Structure 1
Amino acid sequence: MHPQFFRHRWQGGYCEVKFLSSVLLGEKVRIALQLIKNRKMTFEETGLKPELLSAISEMGFQQPTPIQEKTIPHLLENDNDLVALAQTGTGKTAAFGLPLLHNVDLSNSSVQALVLCPTRELCLQISRDLESFSKYMKGFTNIAVYGGADIGKQIRELRRGGQIVVGTPGRVHDLIRRNVLDVSAIRWLVLDEADEMLTMGFKEEMDAILANTPAIKQTLLFSATMPAEIAEMSGKYLHNPEELSVGRRNQGSDNVEHHYYVVHAKDKYATLKRIADNYPNCYAIVFCRTRMETREVAEKFMADGYNADALHGDLSQAQRDQVMARFRSKNLQMLVATDVAARGLDVNELTHVINYSLPDDPEVYIHRSGRTGRAGKKGISVSILHMRETGKMRQIENVSNKRFQRKQVPGGEEICEVQLMHLIDKVVAVEVDDNRIDPYLEAIKDKFEGLNSDEILKRFVSVEFNRFLEYYRDAPDLNIKERETHGRESRVGRSGDRVKFSRMFINAGKKQNLNASRLLGMINDSLRKKNIEIGKIDIQRKFSFFEIDSRFEGELVKAMSRVSLDGQSVKVDRVTGEGPAGFDRSRGRKRDFSGSNNNNFNRKRQR
């Protein structure tokens, strides 16, 4: 019999299988296809240049991550636009960076590719990765441009030339307006973490930048989530893009467990402290809603003896860099941050992400949780909820397709046992320098004279352990019983009493870069109070609605009259019926109603 052959398309190459018997062909094909399906791709099979393969091999990378496995062969073979959806920490930089490096013309020192990203930290990280990947590519230069740094130095680097520019939208736009950065002939445009750039209010800068790029180019849009704004951007700037995704849209990482605790609002910090004590080796980012809350939590942490610090918008760039350097070197165990301040941070090996306050946008939660569980490692996303937030948690579950496990806040005895075992593990693992210790050994023995080994051990452990025993002596149970959280959670306040909400209107929306987090920050900063009950938030294009505890309604209206948003005066009104008095929802502006026309708004809604 003649040998039988078939060829199977597999990840950018072909696999040829030979069979000696046509009788067994069907079964062997089935087995071979299953083996191919289960087989892991290697970087050598992607078709990348030998120089790139040598560099990534030295970095210890042998097999592509799922997004790299899909994206690299695709970009090497196609020049059509691409939308790639994958969580943070899945190797997106290599997914677009390696194909760019493979394709750039090293004989041409002009800008051939522009990579836009939301923050300085991510910009520097991408630039460092490109440097590492291109180690053996002579003649290659990439330039990082970002705000908060000397623009003169960046201008000099651009004038010397480089094939790839990585930058934040604000600084890139500035350099284009100065006629220093020329992107009119680029061949590739990468929008990395495009959803974050939109959330941070860079849409106008991005529109201006893209208007200066050529019509014919390959645009690559990478995003962790796919909100409506990203879909709109894809339709506007990309031409018949192909979509590649790892997992479901807006889905959290499979390497992250999701835990939550339900406590009274007054017990949130005590719960956070117990979580920290129950995980002695945790290395975590603690997310808060506002700068004020961030400062308060960090100050309490530091006062209680924890290696913690705050990261928020009030810090200068030098202060921010100092905090991040300490956190990356693990001299800080806990980084307490707002979402805005933490965007773009690329810190490996985080064991926990702790949501001291849940975000209003489920996609923000997905971004937060994606900061742990990276590079195949496991991580835990912890949420500390008060009773009203369990409904919000269910919304996040539905969007992320993840289920949260309700956990009990650990008690004093449990934490003391964990800390004791942690101390013993440290003692067992410590390295002893005999040469330095031996000269003091006899004097030490004299000090312990009259004590047996058990007594010595107890005293030694107690030196470090007594503070935990004392702190958690008669520690109360912080858990709220599950039956207490049943019912209409959206109207139960922190004290357990029903809260009467007022529905409020604000004359700002997405067009003014208003989102739920920013609105909450404005409310908290205006009232200078914390833990005020906020209900549903509805952000529209030019205006928005939100609910607030009725007791603070008048105070808020007065306080917000002194606030401006991006140069526009803010006006807050109480909504009566379907809208504030004199508001035409269909046009998003005020109208002059009088007499019998006062109900026009409601009738318009009914029609």
Structure 2
Amino acid sequence: MNNFQELGIENQFIQALTENNIITPTEIQQKAIPFLLATGTDFIGQAQTGTGKTAAYGLPILQHVNPDLKQIQALVISPTRELAQQIAKQLFKFTKYADKKIFTEAVYGGEKIDVQIGKLRRPTHIVVSTPGRLIDLLERNAINLENVKTVVLDEADEMLSMGFKADVDKILGYTNSKKCNTWLFSATMPGALKEIIEQFLAEDAFKVEISKEHIVNQAIAHQYLIADIKDKVNVLSRFLTQQEDRRGIIFCRTKAGAQTLEKQLKAKNISAEAIHGDLGQRDRDRVMRLFKSKRLQILIATDISARGIDVDNLAYVLHYQLPDQLEYYTHRSGRTARAGKQGFSIAFVAPSELSKINDIERELKISFEKVDAI
């Protein structure tokens, strides 16, 4: 039996969930889905990336949609193009066996707006959009949100850290005037986000907070090795050579760090490509196509640029530079050990950074194994 039935999910979605091995609800799904199905009023869900938030809000949205009404009924806002694409793809998978077709369209910067306007002229029930592109469409009167009943902000803290607060304010000002329900999902609650909640969400908005100790994938082995900064690249190149044909992501804290590391590895004849904020959309798409098609084994990424990347069968995640924020460790390491498979997360740390490993262990309730430099 699929346990999502106990939460009130209809049979028309259960077969697709089972087919995608989504059987047992996560904590955020258990707490959010019954409420969002029953009432659907304003909601705040604080949970990390990788905890199943898309299904937590996506399944109630799909169940609320009236397929016979050929108009946009729900709006999902995400910080990046890749995450918008991933959300739309997952919603499409959920509707594989639906009684009637439910159409989702993703719109985002980096693609010609005229092409997306043309797509929106087709019957569309759910729109997934980045903030800037939605503002563009609204200013052109190219999108009709008159029948939207629910607006979701996914990864809301990331939208603010990427400079989208003014756009989010404008979008919520518009949707609130239409009396839409607002569902907000975020890993953290910075001050600017609390301001948005106070301004745009009801005082009695239902809130769910998932504690950090429940979010780390138990199939991930956490390791660290000590490497002096001057020898770090050499240790990394030996590590990557040992991995042979196994694929993984290397995380850097800054785009400058990612760019430098890409050049250093290529100088050692190691094929690696980096994605970061300075990379144009066409080049970013090229790199991601190579990585997803397994023609590229090693991807270098920053924390923000990696949002929305969904690649199966990654053997490892490597933290070449530890993240600034503790939550990002979970975001990063969650890229491996997906769909019940094993994986490992390894941090390259200088002797002065050992206290950060202790902080991660304490806060996330995980244990690191020290490994010797290769």
The two structures have a TM-score, normalised by structure 2, of 0.89
C-alpha contact (below 8 Å) 2:224/2:349 kept by paired residues: yes
Whether 2:292 is the aligned partner of 1:331: answer no
C-alpha contact (below 8 Å) 1:190/1:222 kept by paired residues: yes
Deviation at 1:401, TM superposition (A): 4.1
C-alpha contact (below 8 Å) 2:253/2:324 kept by paired residues: no
Residue 218 of structure 1, aligned match among 181, 189, 195:
181
Distance in 2, Cα, partners of 1:155 & 1:90: 33
Letter in 2 for 1:233: I
Distance in 1, Cα, partners of 2:81 & 2:362: 32
Whether 2:141 is the aligned partner of 1:174: answer no
Letter in 2 for 1:234: I
| SS class of match (2:294) | coil
Residues 554-589 of structure 1: CA deviation (Å, up to 9, x unaligned): xxxxxxxxxxxxxxxxxxxxxxxxxxxxxxxxxxxx
Letter in 2 for 1:262: I
Letter in 1 for 2:231: D
Q: Which residue of 2 aligns with 1:273?
A: 237
The CA RMSD over aligned residues, in Å, is 2.6
Whether 2:310 is the aligned partner of 1:346: answer yes
Distance in 2, Cα, partners of 1:330 & 1:241: 44
Whether 2:363 is the aligned partner of 1:387: answer no
Distance in 2, Cα, partners of 1:159 & 1:199: 32
Q: How many residues align?
A: 371
C-alpha contact (below 8 Å) 1:255/1:373 kept by paired residues: yes
| SS class of match (1:276) | helix
Whether 2:373 is the aligned partner of 1:409: answer yes
C-alpha contact (below 8 Å) 1:250/1:366 kept by paired residues: no
| SS class of match (1:212) | helix
Q: Taking CA–CA contacts closer than 8 Å with sequence separation of 6 or more, which of the two structures ends up with the larger relative contact order?
A: 2
Pairwise mapping of residues 233-272 of structure 1 onto structure 2 (< 5 A)? 233-239=196-202, 240-248=204-212, 252-272=216-236
C-alpha contact (below 8 Å) 2:173/2:200 kept by paired residues: no
Q: Which residue of 2 aligns with 1:192?
A: 154
Residue 75 of structure 2, aligned match among 109, 114, 124:
114
C-alpha contact (below 8 Å) 1:87/1:370 kept by paired residues: no
Deviation at 1:88, TM superposition (A): 2.2
User: Closer, same or farther in 2 for the Cα pair 1:53/1:219, shift >3 Å?
Assistant: same
Distance in 2, Cα, partners of 1:41 & 1:190: 26
| SS class of match (1:344) | coil
Identity of aligned residues (%): 42
Letter in 2 for 1:285: I
C-alpha contact (below 8 Å) 1:185/1:213 kept by paired residues: no
Distance in 2, Cα, partners of 1:288 & 1:372: 16
User: Closer, same or farther in 2 for the Cα pair 1:337/1:61, shift >3 Å?
Assistant: closer
Residues 49-85 of structure 1: CA deviation (Å, up to 9, x unaligned): 3322233344444333343333322321222322223
C-alpha contact (below 8 Å) 1:251/1:399 kept by paired residues: no
C-alpha contact (below 8 Å) 1:226/1:249 kept by paired residues: no
Letter in 1 for 2:322: L
Deviation at 1:161, TM superposition (A): 3.9
Structure 2 unaligned runs (5+)? Answer: none
Residue 52 of structure 1, aligned match among 6, 13, 23:
13
C-alpha contact (below 8 Å) 1:89/1:375 kept by paired residues: no
Distance in 1, Cα, partners of 2:357 & 2:126: 42
Whether 2:326 is the aligned partner of 1:362: answer yes
Structure 1 unaligned runs (5+)? Answer: 1-39, 411-607
Distance in 1, Cα, partners of 2:215 & 2:23: 26
Deviation at 1:355, TM superposition (A): 1.4
Distance in 2, Cα, partners of 1:351 & 1:81: 39
Distance in 2, Cα, partners of 1:42 & 1:92: 17
Distance in 1, Cα, partners of 2:332 & 2:68: 42
Q: Which region of structure 1 is more displaced relative to structure 2, 364-373 or 195-204?
A: 364-373
Residue 163 of structure 1, aligned match among 98, 118, 125:
125
Letter in 2 for 1:174: D
Q: Which residue of 2 aligns with 1:150?
A: 112
Whether 2:336 is the aligned partner of 1:372: answer yes
Residue 105 of structure 1, aligned match among 53, 56, 66:
66
Q: Which region of structure 1 is more displaced relative to structure 2, 395-404 or 111-120?
A: 395-404
Distance in 2, Cα, partners of 1:371 & 1:231: 28
C-alpha contact (below 8 Å) 1:193/1:223 kept by paired residues: yes
Residues 464-517 of structure 1: CA deviation (Å, up to 9, x unaligned): xxxxxxxxxxxxxxxxxxxxxxxxxxxxxxxxxxxxxxxxxxxxxxxxxxxxxx
Whether 2:93 is the aligned partner of 1:132: answer yes
The two structures have a TM-score, normalised by structure 1, of 0.57
Letter in 1 for 2:54: T
User: Closer, same or farther in 2 for the Cα pair 1:307/1:396, shift >3 Å?
Assistant: same
C-alpha contact (below 8 Å) 2:74/2:149 kept by paired residues: yes
User: Closer, same or farther in 2 for the Cα pair 1:88/1:196, shift >3 Å?
Assistant: same
Deviation at 1:395, TM superposition (A): 4.1
Distance in 2, Cα, partners of 1:251 & 1:50: 28
Letter in 2 for 1:308: A
Deviation at 1:228, TM superposition (A): 4.1
C-alpha contact (below 8 Å) 1:299/1:309 kept by paired residues: no
Pairwise mapping of residues 6-155 of structure 1 onto structure 2 (< 5 A)? 42-135=3-96, 136-155=98-117
Deviation at 1:398, TM superposition (A): 4.4
Q: Which residue of 2 aligns with 1:567?
A: none
Deviation at 1:164, TM superposition (A): 0.8
| SS class of match (2:36) | helix
Distance in 2, Cα, partners of 1:55 & 1:360: 38
Deviation at 1:296, TM superposition (A): 3.0
Deviation at 1:408, TM superposition (A): 1.6
Distance in 2, Cα, partners of 1:397 & 1:284: 22
Deviation at 1:403, TM superposition (A): 4.1
C-alpha contact (below 8 Å) 1:185/1:214 kept by paired residues: no
C-alpha contact (below 8 Å) 1:189/1:218 kept by paired residues: yes
Distance in 1, Cα, partners of 2:170 & 2:217: 34
| SS class of match (1:84) | strand
Instruction: Determine which structure has more spread, i.e. the larger CA radius of gyration.
Output: 1
C-alpha contact (below 8 Å) 1:121/1:344 kept by paired residues: yes
Distance in 2, Cα, partners of 1:232 & 1:403: 36
Deviation at 1:409, TM superposition (A): 1.0
User: Closer, same or farther in 2 for the Cα pair 1:258/1:233, shift >3 Å?
Assistant: farther
Distance in 1, Cα, partners of 2:341 & 2:156: 25
C-alpha contact (below 8 Å) 2:65/2:73 kept by paired residues: yes
Deviation at 1:252, TM superposition (A): 4.2
C-alpha contact (below 8 Å) 1:253/1:373 kept by paired residues: yes
